[in-house]
Amino acid sequence: MTLKQLRYLIAIAEAGSFSAAARRSFIAQPALSRQIGLLESELEIQLLERQHDGVALTDAGRRLYEVARSVVQKLDSVKDELTSTRGDPRGHVSISIPASASALLLPEIISRATEKFPGITLTVCDGLTREGGQAIELGKVDFGVVPNAEELEHVAAEPIFTEDLYWVGAASEAEKDAPITLAEAAATRLVVAPRALHLRRRIEQAAMEAGVTLNVAYEQQSAPGIASLVRSGLAATICNWPPLMELFEPTAARLVVEPRITRTVSIAHSVHKPLSFAASCMHDLVRSILLDAVREDRWRGSLIERSVEEGAQALEASAGVSS
- The answer on 291 and 250 residing in a single domain is no
- The answer on 53 and 128 residing in a single domain is no
Average pLDDT rounded to a whole number, residues 104-116 = 95
How would residue 206 be classed by pLDDT, with cut points 50, 70 and 90?
Answer: very high
- The answer on 255 and 127 residing in a single domain is no
Among the three residues 41, 57, 84, which one is the final residue of a domain in this structure?
84
pLDDT tens digits for 22-56?
Answer: 888 888 988 988 988 898 889 888 998 888 778 88
- The answer on 75 and 204 residing in a single domain is no
- The answer on 151 and 193 residing in a single domain is no
Average pLDDT rounded to a whole number, residues 124-142 = 86
State the CATH number of the domain containing residue 116.
Answer: 3.40.190.10
Number of domains in the chain: 3
How would residue 245 be classed by pLDDT, with cut points 50, 70 and 90?
Answer: low
Residue (of 103, 98, 97, 146) closest to 247 by Cα position: 103
Among the three residues 84, 119, 145, which one is the final residue of a domain in this structure?
84
**pLDDT beyond 90 at 265:** yes
Produce one character per residue of 300-313: b if its CB has 16 or more CB atoms within 10 Å, e if not. bbeeeeeeeeeeee
Beta-carbon count within 10 A of 194 CB: 13
Among the three residues 212, 240, 260, which one is the final residue of a domain in this structure?
260
Higher pLDDT, 79 or 21: 21
- The answer on 107 and 156 residing in a single domain is yes
Higher pLDDT, 74 or 83: 74
- The answer on 175 and 158 residing in a single domain is no
- The answer on 150 and 175 residing in a single domain is no
pLDDT at 130: 77
- The answer on 236 and 183 residing in a single domain is yes
Give the domain range for residue 79: 3-84
Provide the whole-model pTM.
Answer: 0.69
State the CATH number of the domain containing residue 10.
Answer: 1.10.10.10
